[in-house]
Amino acid sequence: MSKPTRTLLKVLIDQSRWRYVDFERNFCRTAERVLDGASRNLTISESQFRRWTAGKVQTLPGPDTCRVLEAMFGVDAAALFGPPPSDSPAPAFNLEDEITMTARDAQNEAGAAAAASISDTTIDQLRDDVTSLAREYSSTSAFETFRKARELREQAEHERDRTQVPAQQQDLLILAGQACALLSTAAFDLGSLDGAKRLSRSAALYGETARFDPLRAFAGGTLAYIAYFSGQPAEAARQARAAQMFGGLGDVARRRLSAIEARAYGYLGDAPSAQRALAASESEGRGFTDDLHDEVGGEFGFTLERLAMSNSSTCLLLGNGGQAETAAMHALELAEAKPTAVRSVRVVGGAAADLAAARLLRGDLDGAATAIEPVWEVPREQRATGLLTRTARVRRTLTAVRYRAAPLAAELGERIEDFTRLSAQQQLGTATGTVAALEG
């Protein structure tokens, strides 16, 4: 039989599915509001939280603490620390969540036993969590990634406050920076360019503090990408070039930065520089790897199909429909050769949109309609900024004089509008305007 809950406070915390960090955050916010700044140092330690939820309280806390708890839960403090009423609803039980919460609680409590350091196991688990989130990015909604990455960054900072060991401090700085970089990417995919820029700069600062250049280079590439989408292609090219100056970068990192640089030059109409950067992005490299783009990989990596998709967009900017069509088809072939479980629908959708745009450039409306079919299969929660701007370009091309009298062009245009309207960005109200000529 399960052990009965000792206090009403424990029941309410379980129903809210709060861990210590969640409870502490809500307690501090409520204290600021209820006490009106009169007791700014009022906090609850993790050990105190554990005693409360275990029912190990002989007397009520101080008056200010009771006031805050009563404001949080709407229940008298004496009742909170007493047994739950017999008619209190039992918290909903989810086995997977219970296992996850129990595992995290056990990990936190085991780590608390160390005085000036934390267990290496704690850092290993956090590293695994960040790596998993990066590798699952292509199959996870940007909103869910943002939520999880925020938790991981907060956890890394919490653990960093608990250790004085320099090696552990550096590891946790790197992990917090990686989580921040994923936050930036998710914010970008949700259409918040300003938020993405701030988060990417924070990731770069983490990398600088930890002396971890691969993270600085990744953040620099993201800043270049954001500048490109913000209508600043010259700044984008500068950021991409600057990021390539960091040491210790592998071939994948340089491939990504060269592709971003090529896109910026494509928007500027600088065909020679764009073609040079395209060639650099497609070179075989020197067999170098690094601990972020290769070892962690996932969203930090840059697969060959993603490279081909990016380069097809650059070719479209240069007005080279034939080269764009070849690159887009190559991206689709590479993506479709992968098992469904690891295939990125964003890459498939983006390459399909580029292929449709390339065919429209040479007047093949029927071919474009066939090419764009995979786009409709992208779930609304994965219709990110890059894909939406690609489909927007197709929509604009369909309004050209040569297609205005074609019923198929009108039908495709309406489908693209519906596709955009039902995206997560539009539903969440996070969509922002981007430069009309750009694509993600």
Last residue of a domain, one of 80, 106, 127: 80
401 belongs to a structural domain: yes
Higher pLDDT, 252 or 100: 252
| 8 Å CB contact between 69 and 13 | no
- Average pLDDT over every residue of 104-121: 68
Last residue of a domain, one of 63, 80, 97: 80
* Per-residue pLDDT reduced to its tens digit, 178-216: 999 999 999 999 889 999 999 999 999 999 999 999 999
118 belongs to a structural domain: no
Q: Would you state the pLDDT for residue 108?
A: 64
* Residue 97: pLDDT band with limits 50, 70, 90: low
- Average pLDDT over every residue of 230-250: 96
Q: Would you state the pLDDT for residue 397?
A: 93
48 belongs to a structural domain: yes
What long-range pairs does 168-173 form, CB within 8 A, spacing at least 24? 168/117, 168/118, 168/120, 168/123, 170/210, 170/211, 170/212, 171/123, 171/127, 172/123, 172/126, 173/206, 173/209, 173/210, 173/212
Q: Would you state the pLDDT for residue 115?
A: 53
Residue type, 190: L
249 belongs to a structural domain: no
Number of structural domains the chain divides into:
2
Q: Would you state the pLDDT for residue 291?
A: 96
Q: Would you state the pLDDT for residue 89?
A: 53
**Runs of H (alpha helix) within 89-165:** 95-111, 120-135, 142-161
1 belongs to a structural domain: no
Last residue of a domain, one of 53, 80, 107: 80
390 belongs to a structural domain: yes
| 8 Å CB contact between 322 and 281 | no
* Residue 93: pLDDT band with limits 50, 70, 90: very low
Collapsed DSSP state (helix, strand, coil) of residue 19: coil
Q: Would you state the pLDDT for residue 87?
A: 52
Q: Would you state the pLDDT for residue 424?
A: 65
- Average pLDDT over every residue of 126-138: 96
Question: Which of 108-117, 153-162, 232-241, 336-345 comes out lowest in average pLDDT?
Answer: 108-117
379 belongs to a structural domain: yes
Residue-number span of the structural domain to which 34 is assigned: 8-80
- Average pLDDT over every residue of 90-106: 59
Start-to-end CA distance of the chain, whole Å, equals 55
- Average pLDDT over every residue of 350-370: 95
Residue type, 313: S
For residue 362, the 8-state DSSP code is T
Q: Which single residue is written with the structure tokens 């369909």? A: 398
- Average pLDDT over every residue of 240-262: 97
- Average pLDDT over every residue of 295-304: 96
Q: Would you state the pLDDT for residue 106?
A: 66
In 3D space, the residue among 217, 210, 151, 214 whose CA is nearest the CA of residue 179 turns out to be 151
- Average pLDDT over every residue of 207-226: 97
Q: Would you state the pLDDT for residue 437?
A: 38
Q: How far is CA 428 from the centre of its chain?
A: 16
| 8 Å CB contact between 380 and 424 | yes
CA distance 302 to 305: 8
- Mean of the per-residue pLDDT values of the chain: 87
Length of the chain: 440
CA distance 395 to 386: 14
- pLDDT for residue 2 is more than 90: no
Q: Would you state the pLDDT for residue 149?
A: 97
- pLDDT for residue 90 is more than 90: no
- Please give the model's pTM, rounded to 2 decimal places: 0.72
373 belongs to a structural domain: yes
In 3D space, the residue among 220, 214, 151, 229 whose CA is nearest the CA of residue 183 turns out to be 151
